[in-house]
């Protein structure tokens, strides 16, 4: 599966604001871990995309982001257990960003009433 890599800034404190590139499905994990008001997408950056294996993402995200104070992996906090399918849906939504947008159909043509 191919998805965009988005450039994200994480505001950990006044002096520490690292910038990272992550897939769209990783942003909710960063928001859960650091707080939604501490994670910002940098919009005017070079567009990048990368292939990844969806079947390996759950384990990858467990290792990458670790666990909360209760020892629950951050990926499980956000997406539940791997078998629930919420992570897969989020990965697909992120991959869909790369698909060309369909043009809206013109709905201005009059419709024939079924009662006539």
Over the stretch 99-111, which tens digit does the pLDDT of each residue have?
887 765 555 555 5
pLDDT at 115: 54
- Tell me whether residue 115 is in a domain: no
Residue 110 lies inside a defined structural domain of this protein? no
List b or e across 18-47, with b for residues whose CB sees 16 or more CB atoms inside 10 angstroms.
eeeebbbbbbbbbbbbeeeeebeeeeeeee
> Residue 41, by phi and psi: left (phi above 0), alpha (psi -120 to 50) or beta?
beta
Residue carrying the six token digits 């990783």: 26
Share above pLDDT 70 across residues of the chain, in percent, rounded to a whole number = 88
CA 13 to chain centre: 24
Total domains, the chain: 1
Place of tokens 């079924």: 114
Instruction: Specify the pLDDT at position 107.
Output: 54
Going through 14-85 in order, the beta strands assigned E by DSSP cover 19-22, 39-41, 48-51
The answer as to whether 23 is a domain residue is yes
Tell me if 114 is assigned to some domain. Answer: no
Chain mean pLDDT for the chain: 89
Residue 23 in this model has a pLDDT that exceeds 90: yes
Q: Are 8 and 16 in contact (CB under 8 A)?
A: no
Its domain, for residue 73, covers: 2-96
Predicted structure pTM score: 0.82
Q: What is the mean pLDDT of residues 19-24?
A: 96
Residue 109 lies in a domain: no
Does 92 score more than 70 pLDDT? Answer: yes
């Amino acid at each position: 599966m191919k998805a965009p890599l988005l450039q994200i800034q994480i505001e950990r404190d006044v002096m520490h604001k690292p910038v990272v590139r992550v897939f769209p499905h990783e942003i909710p994990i960063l928001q859960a871990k650091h707080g939604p008001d501490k994670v910002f997408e940098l919009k005017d950056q070079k567009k990048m995309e990368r292939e990844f294996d969806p079947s390996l993402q759950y384990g990858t995200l467990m290792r990458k982001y670790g666990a909360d104070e209760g020892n629950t992996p951050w990926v499980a906090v956000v997406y539940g257990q791997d078998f629930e399918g919420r992570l897969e849906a989020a990965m697909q939504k992120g991959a869909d960003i790369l698909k060309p947008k369909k043009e809206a159909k013109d709905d201005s043509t009059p419709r024939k009433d079924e009662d006539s």
